[in-house]
Structure 1
């Protein structure tokens, strides 16, 4: 919103005053990386992991930049009222003063960050969480999906394809191996075991994906990181997707075929409860349920 405070190149300013050059390479070429970092009660969630991934992305794009990220992000959150906020952080290679595909080492990166409220997605309870429909489509992205870059056109196209098919998400497949969703990571359940695609340069390892595996480990739920194919997806007892804004959602239909009879599975219900307890403590500082 216009009244929000954003960070741009060393300054905290109203969003309505923030301006970036039309020659910025983030605008012209998508030559940029980003992170989305939740802050609960003013404290960055898994901030070290987010910043580690950010440094990996910057290094892969050869954007030489190091800042006191934590100090800057925490001040931005406080200037926007503190509490539970999601911070979007984007770094571009900067402005060359002209459009040219090559870049010079002297360029100064553009650093931008803004905040959005975090919605409590657990307030309604598991009964009110709607299962979703997905399609499976070819993964046409480049082979460095481990870099959290802003070149998201392939993701946008498959998500639009899903929408036009009456689905909520698109799962991508490359050379017979499932990778991830257009904006999510993938899990399947078979015989009480959680399976998820193993990390590689073809997949962006999400912090929510990491949390699912951590909660499963703490709860004694077995899991495996492995290659998964289309037949395994259709034969699964349960299918889930995860993302930072949607947590863990049950998939009830893949390409028009029901999964698990088209109802939410028991292991998803258990994982939902683990997530609910975990996030309740983050958002309120109060322990609840089994964690007490």
Structure 2
């Protein structure tokens, strides 16, 4: 076990120590990034919205024409065992499926079917420290150079990795992906904008990965009466926003207070974001931790 991965892990029907888990170097996930993944947050040892996560996994597998190696009940059994054996109450369950290992390197799918590689593990769910949340974080904007099916949660994330690394090298927490002048998302988060008290959210299209946390933010806004517009957000609106947030299961609701060295609004976390963060915490305690 490492500080970030609990033993046992799951690999192709077996639970075993991470140090004993191995795959073929001819695995197509290793050679091509030919596979998918899913991340399920766990609160008080309860997987949150596991059906929605597994449905997204199934949709992504269908999107790349890869048969799901387990049914819903099978995946749930894997997740439940990983949760039970891990030392943390709040966890992050990682699932990955690749097209498996052929006996050669060929871009086309194996002509003779090979078993998919299914891998899963539990790690700690680490959220933003209070001092970071209180001051917000900085971001950069970058050209979105990803492919045209960003709605599929695939493991070939090199464009995201390079964008995020550029942010890190610039001392920032996130890279905001701009395509043809329109905000899509962050390298590893969804992005929301507030202008004149109205919450703006990019729509779910093939150019954005719809997060489960994204859905929660929309639900909270609608249930609490926060004005909401789901529409394309132009780069000029991003740069003139009163507030900008990044959201994910680990970041929850985190204010971006500076973009490309310029302050967002007054350069401090804004009141709408603070209210949404509190609504999110209330929801976490009343819903997420109770299954």
- TM-score scaled to structure 2, two decimals? 0.92
Task: Give the aligned partner of residue 81 of structure 2.
Answer: 75
**8 Å contact from structure 1 (residues 185, 206) kept in 2:** yes
Task: Give the aligned partner of residue 155 of structure 2.
Answer: 150
Cα distance, 1:120 vs structure 2: 5.4
Equivalences for 1:55-204 in 2 at 5 Å?
55-65=58-68, 66-67=70-71, 68-81=74-87, 83-104=89-110, 106-119=113-126, 121=128, 124=130, 129-204=134-209
Farther-moved stretch of structure 1 (74-83 vs 46-55): 74-83
Pick aligned residue for 2:254 from 244, 249, 252: 249
Task: Give the aligned partner of residue 276 of structure 1.
Answer: 281
In structure 1, what is the Cα distance between the partners aligned to 2:43 and 2:247?
A: 19
Runs (5+) with no aligned partner, structure 2: none
Task: Give the aligned partner of residue 288 of structure 1.
Answer: none
Instruction: Say yes or no: does 1:264 pair with 2:265.
Output: no
Task: Give the aligned partner of residue 227 of structure 1.
Answer: 232
In structure 2, what is the Cα distance between the partners aligned to 1:83 and 1:210?
A: 24
In structure 2, what is the Cα distance between the partners aligned to 1:209 and 1:170?
A: 17
Aligned residues: 283
Cα distance, 1:42 vs structure 2: 2.7
Q: How much is the aligned-residue C-alpha RMSD, in angstroms?
A: 1.8
Runs of 4+ in 1 over 4 A off after TM superposition: 282-285
Bigger relative CO (Cα 8 Å, ≥ 6 apart):
2
- TM-score scaled to structure 1, two decimals? 0.92
In structure 1, what is the Cα distance between the partners aligned to 2:209 and 2:182?
A: 15
Farther-moved stretch of structure 1 (81-90 vs 203-212): 81-90
Runs (5+) with no aligned partner, structure 1: 286-292
In structure 2, what is the Cα distance between the partners aligned to 1:225 and 1:253?
A: 23
